[in-house]
Structure 1
Amino acid sequence: MRVFFKFFMIVFLLAQSNFYAQSIELKIDNLIETKFEADNPGAVFLVAKEGKPIYRKAFGKANLEMNIAMQPEFVFEIGSMTKQFTAVAIALLEEQGKLNFQDEIIKFIPDYPTQGNKITIHHLLTHTSGIKDFTKMKELRKISKNNLSPKELVDFFKNEPMDFNSGEQFKYNNSGYIILGYIIEIVSGQSYEDFIQKNIFDKLVMIATYYASHEKVIKNRVSGYHNREGYVNNDYISFTLPYASGSIMSTVDDMLKWQNAMDTNKLVNSKTKQKIFTNYKLNNGEEINYGYGWHIKEISKSISLEHGGSIFGFKSMGVYLPKEKIYVIGFSNCDCNSPTQLTKDIATLFVDE
């Protein structure tokens, strides 16, 4: 009788688990299918629990002209999710003793006009430097197709008036991460591309993650689109402009490797990780809901570590719930159709359960 009861309980629990998995899958499908239609630019979504995928699907088209259906392993431009990699690259150099988060940027770029401010690496990482965001400058269109060196790009915006004194406000700022990329090159003696390839992509076996290139043949590269009274191919921009603030391409599978590495301290130690995921404050003590390369927010009162990305033709969003150990990542190949809210809605399913 006891053996039968144990057998019954095992069968019952397996059935319950299978029913739950099917129920969650159906709920996620229903959320995504309302936004991404079969014949339009599409998306890929992955959900992982405790580091293992439990949902991984593609929707819509990867290329409209060739009528190619989207596949889960396809490569997308991830835009500002690049900032996570730049922040960790800085953290690696900090662990090696080659810089400190509190170092002033003039230690590395002596001629940078700080306009009376003490601007630190910490300020750049947390978007509290006050430096003008170069993507908001009208002159950007004139150089958008030019291949610039990091120094030339920094020179493009460095003499602009400050938006505010360092540490007084939080204002999302791509210029800060351009300077961080330049500092990585100065300190390491390598290009930004080579540094992240050797110290992050190769180490984590992220075989489908790249510093973006228009010239390089990249297997499974997805085409990007705008919707301007109908779908059109995405505008050209030199990847030397988004640079360390937005020039990485990846897959949802490689991004799970990345998330798992952060979760298990594979790249940086626990002390450094704590600094990365601290909710920092302004000079007046107000929290900014941002650490180093990640927003620190809440979903249904559960802590959420997240970041999105937007670059011509592409949108991306990743959400990690540390308590539930749930990671949701979504990529879209039309900047008209963001996966941001969907990833949060999917994550909410696991908080509410």
Structure 2
Amino acid sequence: MKKALYLKHLLLVIIFLAFNSQSKIYAQTLESSIDNLLNVKYSDSTPGGTFLISKNGNIIYKKAFGLANLELNVPMEADNVFEIGSMTKQFTAISILMLMEKGKLNLDDKITKFIPDYPTNGHKITIHHLLTHTSGIKSYTSMKKLNEISKQDLTPLELIDFFKNEPIDFVPGEKFKYNNSGYVILGYIIEKVTGQSYANFVEEQIFKTLKMTASQYASNSEVIQNRASGYQDNEGYINTREISFTLTYSAGSLMSSVSDMFTWQEAIKNNLLISKKTTEKAFTNYILNNGEPINYGYGWNIKTINNIRSFEHGGAIWGFKSMGVYLPDLDIYVIGLTNCLCNSPTKVTREIAELAAKY
């Protein structure tokens, strides 16, 4: 009897050790596979990036590649801070949903409720249309006159005045067309209903609440700890051009680190800012007037990677590119932040998510 019990315990120990050993081998194989991908893409002498992977709420990979500053030959560190460009739209969308839960607005509110003189030419343009890029409003970043205002400090209404009289691209709800103007208007709506600037609202209601201490609204003049320098490749690396962040505003003016973006993803997953029911609105694949899906929710693309559901979004702003991918059915998150407009992390971040899904 004692011998049988001993053999049973011994077998359990062997199984446990074998499982542990196999898990470590898988982890090492995954790490080396990702290292190989990123070392090829971001060399020690070029602008680089930082990458983080989490699974089931635990960080399983976090590394830095390349240089944070070319002139001083400063290596990238895993906690460097980057401009995240259009990943800002996630924060704008969630801010709108937070205000909806507080009864400050409705998603079917017309934009003329907040900007009475906005020329809709008889069309009904709603907050929902803005969130889903289906408003038909001309995206100001596609306008040839953009350079004329790129360094001017504008109020949100002055920026809206820049594009509001442009002809619409289509009737609201008829097409999906990625649109920065819509998210600028959303930022103004946040200011209108809260009495706070967009920057203050996001920093107080999101960053401070979640203790995202490395995240903030971008600034050219402020000294920002761990900031990575931004570059462009123009037949050789050059320092990125300086713009006014009033230009990118609620469509693309936030800064963060991979650790803070992991905190953000966990907050979304665990419904820390809005309810589960409201969170589902952000990840619904919405449809056009004709019933065709747009593969976009509120601030996230709704896609698949090898038939696995993926919620993802990238960002591009002068000097920086970013990409975040979340596989909800496997609880895998991959975030990549880079400091050159020249070397996008989009494809490699999706490849890393695909790799992580196999382990």
Normalising TM by the smaller chain, what interval? over 0.9
The counterpart of 2:69, out of the listed 53, 60, 63, is 63
Match of 2:316 in 1: 310
Match of 1:333 in 2: 339
Match of 1:12 in 2: 18
Is 1:93 the counterpart of 2:73? The answer is: no
Is the CA contact (8 Å cut-off) linking 2:316 and 2:341 kept in structure 1?
A: yes
Give the Cα–Cα distance (whole angstroms) in 1 for the partners of residues 159 and 337 of structure 2.
28
- Give RMSD over aligned pairs: 0.7
Match of 1:75 in 2: 81
Is 1:279 the counterpart of 2:285? The answer is: yes
1:39-59 deviation line (CA, Å, top 9, x unaligned):
000010000001111000000
Match of 2:3 in 1: none
Is 1:252 the counterpart of 2:265? The answer is: no
Match of 1:261 in 2: 267
Match of 2:36 in 1: 30
Give the Cα–Cα distance (whole angstroms) in 2 for the partners of residues 94 and 24 of structure 1.
41
Is the CA contact (8 Å cut-off) linking 1:300 and 1:351 kept in structure 2?
A: no
SS at match of 2:247: coil
Q: How many residues align?
A: 353
Is 1:199 the counterpart of 2:205? The answer is: yes
The counterpart of 1:345, out of the listed 345, 351, 357, is 351
SS at match of 1:37: coil
Is 1:107 the counterpart of 2:123? The answer is: no
Give the Cα–Cα distance (whole angstroms) in 2 for the partners of residues 258 and 335 of structure 1.
24
Give the Cα–Cα distance (whole angstroms) in 1 for the partners of residues 57 and 267 of structure 2.
10
Match of 1:140 in 2: 146
Is 1:127 the counterpart of 2:159? The answer is: no
Is 1:222 the counterpart of 2:228? The answer is: yes
Is the CA contact (8 Å cut-off) linking 2:231 and 2:341 kept in structure 1?
A: yes
Letter in 2 for 1:250: S
Q: Which runs of 5+ in 1 are unaligned?
A: none
Is the CA contact (8 Å cut-off) linking 1:121 and 1:180 kept in structure 2?
A: yes
Using the TM superposition, name which of 2-11 and 47-56 deviates more: 2-11
Letter in 2 for 1:40: T
1:23-48 deviation line (CA, Å, top 9, x unaligned):
10011111111211110000100000
Is the CA contact (8 Å cut-off) linking 2:332 and 2:357 kept in structure 1?
A: no
Match of 1:175 in 2: 181
Give the Cα–Cα distance (whole angstroms) in 2 for the partners of residues 255 and 350 of structure 1.
18
Give the Cα–Cα distance (whole angstroms) in 1 for the partners of residues 346 and 282 of structure 2.
22
Is the CA contact (8 Å cut-off) linking 1:300 and 1:352 kept in structure 2?
A: no
Match of 2:124 in 1: 118
Is the CA contact (8 Å cut-off) linking 1:223 and 1:333 kept in structure 2?
A: yes
Letter in 1 for 2:228: V
Using the TM superposition, name which of 165-174 and 8-17 deviates more: 8-17
1:137-186 deviation line (CA, Å, top 9, x unaligned):
11110110000000100011100110111000000000000000000000
SS at match of 1:287: coil
- How far off its partner does 1:350 sit? 2.8
TM-score by length of 1: 0.99
1:169-204 deviation line (CA, Å, top 9, x unaligned):
000000000000000000011000110111100110
1:97-140 deviation line (CA, Å, top 9, x unaligned):
01001100001110100112100000000000000000011111
Match of 1:300 in 2: 306
Letter in 2 for 1:92: M
Give the Cα–Cα distance (whole angstroms) in 2 for the partners of residues 325 and 241 of structure 1.
35
Using the TM superposition, name which of 119-128 and 24-33 deviates more: 24-33
Letter in 1 for 2:209: K
Is the CA contact (8 Å cut-off) linking 2:231 and 2:319 kept in structure 1?
A: yes
Give the Cα–Cα distance (whole angstroms) in 2 for the partners of residues 166 and 69 of structure 1.
47
SS at match of 1:196: helix
1:229-288 deviation line (CA, Å, top 9, x unaligned):
100000111000000000000000000000000000001101101111100000000000
TM-score by length of 2: 0.97
Give the Cα–Cα distance (whole angstroms) in 1 for the partners of residues 358 and 112 of structure 2.
48
- How far off its partner does 1:10 sit? 1.6
Instruction: State the identity %.
Output: 59
Q: Which runs of 5+ in 2 are unaligned?
A: 1-6
The counterpart of 1:288, out of the listed 288, 294, 299, is 294
